[in-house]
Amino acid sequence: PHSSRRRIIRPQSAMLTLYGDYLLNRGEEIGIGSLIKLFGNFGLSEQAVRSAVSRMCQAGLLKVRSRGRKSYYSLTPNGHSLLTKGAQRIFVRKNTSWDGTWNIVTYSIPEQKRKLRDALRRELGWMGYGALGGATLISPYDLTQEVIELAEKLGVIEYIHIFQARQQGLTDARKVVALCWNLSRIHEMYGSFITNYQPRLEDRLRRIQAGEPVEASEYFVERFALIHEYRKLPFYDPDLPDELLPEDWLRSKAAALFKEYHDLLTEKANEYFDSVLEA
């Protein structure tokens, strides 16, 4: 169990996992000393933790309150909204059937606004759009409103067109999906998550049944590693409706494994987190 403890995690993304999983719904602040102690479980140095929080303050995700020589960090509204969206993506999956229409976004953004064009493509990708061609992206969900908001935020609304269209003729919808999304890569990611974490869950259940004494910090480390690993998956997965997916799609199996394991670790992990906070 201690090998996962020493796996090097990137301090900033670890910080997002911590705030997203432990502090998002409490709306609390956390002292720098507590952060250093919590991340000490993963072999992160005090310096690494300090520079990660200062970078996140610069990025406008955290704000600091100083009292004497102590510093306390909490989420800014910006950080809060970023993590709320992330948590929704992790815990709430789309479960809708497909009505046979595609939402199509096309754009022609001038070369001197290339940065904005790249940002638009990237954000549409996060939203689950797949690239059908150079400047044409599609989704089986009608996300027109979200796309309009995004284009307004980026200032490119005059350069985009959005259509809601039915597929005609001989094209098989699954062929379109194969063009737009690398499903086999996503499938492999789910597969390796299951291969990795199913035995860990079984091992943990066995140890609980055998009544082995376990440090609360171990539950914290285990739950942290679990959520840190699983967090990435929903962002690669466009959450396509079942009709468009292969028969043996592993998403629901991975999600069920994550939920069972996460729930099993939560109480003890929270106890440890609270004890560090109170100390």
Tokens of residue 218, six digits: 């171990």
Q: What pLDDT does residue 174 have?
A: 87
Count the Cβ atoms, other than its own, within 10 Å of residue 134: 8
pTM for the whole structure: 0.82
Nearest to 187 by CA among 116, 117, 270, 254: 254
* DSSP H or E stretch at residue 101: strand 101-107
Q: What is the pLDDT along the chain (279 residues), one digit of tens a residue?
A: 444 444 557 888 888 889 988 888 776 889 999 999 999 998 889 999 999 999 999 999 999 999 888 889 999 999 998 888 888 877 776 767 888 999 999 999 999 999 999 999 999 998 899 999 889 999 999 999 999 999 999 999 999 999 999 988 767 888 899 999 999 999 999 999 999 999 999 999 999 999 999 898 999 999 999 998 998 898 889 989 988 998 899 999 999 999 999 999 999 999 999 999 887
Q: CA dist 215 to 77, 202, 218, 221, Å?
A: 35, 18, 5, 10
Nearest to 225 by CA among 86, 90, 41: 41
Residue type, 2: H
The DSSP code for 76 is: -
Contact 11, 39 (CB under 8 A): yes
Which residues sit opposite 223 in a β-bridge?
none
Which residues sit opposite 164 in a β-bridge?
103
Count the Cβ atoms, other than its own, within 10 Å of residue 230: 20
At residue 138, the 3 state secondary structure works out as: strand
Tokens 């229409």, residue?
101
Q: How many Å apart are CA 128 and CA 45, to the nearest integer?
A: 36
Contact 42, 1 (CB under 8 A): no
Nearest 5°: the CA angle 200, 241, 170 is 135
Radius of gyration of the chain (CA): 22
